[in-house]
Amino acid sequence: MKYWAYFGAKLVAVVLFLCAVWDGMFRLLPEPEPFLRYRVSRLGQDLAWTTLILLYFLFGIGLVYAAVWDQRIRCRSCLRRLRMPLETGSWSRATLLSPPQLESICPFGHGTLTESEVHTTGQKAAEWTPHGDNIWKELESLDKRK
Note whether 140 and 91 are same-domain residues. yes
pTM, 2 dp: 0.76
Query: What SS3 class is residue 111?
Result: strand
- The domain of 98 spans 83-145
Q: List the pLDDT tens digit at each of the 146 positions of the chain.
A: 899 999 999 999 999 999 999 999 989 888 877 778 877 777 777 888 899 999 999 999 999 999 999 999 999 888 999 998 888 887 776 666 778 889 999 888 888 999 888 777 777 788 888 887 666 677 777 777 66
* Beta-carbon-side half-sphere exposure of residue 15 (alpha carbons within 13 Å): 6
Note whether 7 and 67 are same-domain residues. yes
Q: What are phi and psi of 68, to 5 degrees?
A: -65, -45
Note whether 7 and 35 are same-domain residues. yes
